[in-house]
Amino acid sequence: MKGVASVGLAIFLANGVLGGSEKYPSAFPGGGDIEITPLIHASVQIEYGGKVIQVDPWSAGDLSQARPADIILITDDPAHHLDLKAIQQLRKAGTTIVIPAVGKPQLPDGVVLANGASTEAAGVRIEAIPAYDIKPGAPEHPKGKSNGYVVTIGGRRLYFSGVTECVPEVQALKNIDVAFLPMNIPVERMMPAATAACARILNPKLVYVYHYDQDFAAKAANPSARTQGVPGGLTVAQSLDAFRDAIKGSGIEFQRAKWYPHEPDPVRDDINTVSEQCPSSAELKAIDHDLKLLFDSDPTHGTRACSAAEGSRDLTVMQSRVYRSLSVMRRLQFTEPLPWTRDSAYHWLTKSVRGVRFRADAATSSCCGPDGLINVRSVVETSQDGRQSGFALALTRTSGMDTDFRLLATFMQLLVHEARHNNGKPHTCGTKDQTIREMGAWGSAYTFQQWIAEKTQPGFVPISVKLSLQRATEQICKFQICAETCGGQ
């Protein structure tokens, strides 16, 4: 998404404060995202619900856009973990700085947490996990000196290991959602296979490896430091590939990130990337050929989210979302056909309806008139206190929309719902359906989202999106299906 003109709507489209951040949904429906921003080496920023946590901030990285922290967690005392300059920059009045005892001389006002102890700061629970070497050898990480941390935020448990082997205390951790594990250090111990084995034991939903380029860290501290490479003769990039391969089939998602300035931006040709792109003018033409889109009412009138000058077309925010939804839908390839058609989702849709008409005078969205058009009520209402509600694609702000793709998915499932009505599927229980199985409007909308989450090519749908889709289908089950409960609930 480029060139969004409207300030009011920009909030929706801003992809975090920094380039390579990942959004992980909180455990609470509508509770927003936990935003994870790798900064450098072992330095990572976590944001949730207005709170900011900085882990091992290090001024060798670009901290110009990093946010002042409510909590700073320090794992160890080498300068790339405990950096007074970075801490000074990112602390504010009232910041809690949690440290192992070894940091006390440098940070007299730090809160010392011993291995195994826990505390609460800014409403966030923090547990100190031992971080040490089993097999001795330089660089030394003796037992008791350093901390890893488990942080509970947004109902999720995030584990920052610091530098450690996969010691019994680490192996014993339960219910970790996101884990940050060291690699290529301790030397000859946490090599890619060992780090992957540790990840399999911890079994988080999402794993990051970090602190894996020791030469970078050494040179940043001392430009004339001798480089040693990764033990075993791998390049750093090869060690990452080795980790990726070793974790395959575990069900754990590996989030490759840009931890060092020399690394390329992680490849993200996933559903989020696809849904962020303005469709090309050729693709827009193809969609116009398949579906008649009438924008009678557009609450985002006057905005511009895509432009002809960039090879797309001048589109308002809402129009761009409509076209981007259809563009994503065109690309969806399922490993198993949808239960009600052998066609692809997009092909089925274009055969089922003639198009979509966005209007202000429709009481609700419905399908279809004799013209074969889905009517979508595209009105945004603003209440006295300034809160807006109404048509999702034109909303400026709403709870429960965790990613831009999630927003588009909500619209796509509306299209599926309405088009199923046009396949001769009325509701069988008031405005609800009796069962999922009958594949009525709600069952189809449910299944469509389930298929995106579970039956797409590996890597195309990130875990964060899967969790969001899962929540959306749970909501359908709970509120729109009369006779059954779903998902084993």
According to the binding rule CB under 5 A, does residue 209 interact with Zn ion?
A: no
State the minimum distance, in angstroms, from the CB of residue 13 to Zn ion: 30
| Nearest CA-CA partner of 213 in 193, 194, 231 | 231
Write out the DSSP string of 73-90.
Answer: E---SSTTTS-HHHHHHH
Contact range with Zn ion by CB under 5 A, out of 129-137, 225-233, 393-401, 438-446: 438-446
- Positions in 151-180 near Zn ion (CB under 5 A): 163
Q: Candidates 441, 445, 467, 477: give the one binding Zn ion (CB under 5 A).
A: 441
Contact range with Zn ion by CB under 5 A, out of 14-22, 202-210, 380-388, 435-443: 435-443
According to the binding rule CB under 5 A, does residue 326 interact with Zn ion?
A: no
According to the binding rule CB under 5 A, does residue 374 interact with Zn ion?
A: no
| Separation between Cα atoms, residue 356 and residue 91, nearest integer Å | 51
Contact range with Zn ion by CB under 5 A, out of 14-22, 227-235, 242-250, 433-441: 433-441
According to the binding rule CB under 5 A, does residue 481 interact with Zn ion?
A: no
Q: Phi/psi at 466 (nearest 5 deg)?
A: -60, -45
Name the residue number minimizing CB distance to Zn ion: 441
- End-to-end, the C-alpha distance of the chain in Å comes to 38
Contact range with Zn ion by CB under 5 A, out of 20-28, 46-54, 398-406, 436-444: 436-444
According to the binding rule CB under 5 A, does residue 44 interact with Zn ion?
A: no
Tell me whether residue 365 or residue 464 sits nearer to Zn ion (CB atom). Answer: 365
According to the binding rule CB under 5 A, does residue 415 interact with Zn ion?
A: no
What count of other Cβ atoms lies within 10 Å of the Cβ of residue 226? Answer: 8
Assess contact for 154 and 34: CB atoms under 8 A: yes
β-bridge pairing 206-210 and 96-99: unpaired
With H, G, I as helix, E, B as strand and everything else as coil, classify residue 251.
Answer: coil
State the minimum distance, in angstroms, from the CB of residue 478 to Zn ion: 17
State the minimum distance, in angstroms, from the CB of residue 195 to Zn ion: 15
State the minimum distance, in angstroms, from the CB of residue 201 to Zn ion: 22
According to the binding rule CB under 5 A, does residue 199 interact with Zn ion?
A: no
| Separation between Cα atoms, residue 324 and residue 447, nearest integer Å | 21
Residue 64 backbone zone (phi > 0: left; psi -120 to 50: alpha; other: beta) = alpha
Tell me whether residue 43 or residue 312 sits nearer to Zn ion (CB atom). Answer: 43
Assess contact for 254 and 243: CB atoms under 8 A: yes
Binding residue count for Zn ion, defined by CB under 5 A: 2
Give the angle 96-100-101 at the CA atoms, nearest 5°. Answer: 110
Applying CB under 5 A, which residues contact Zn ion? Answer: 163, 441
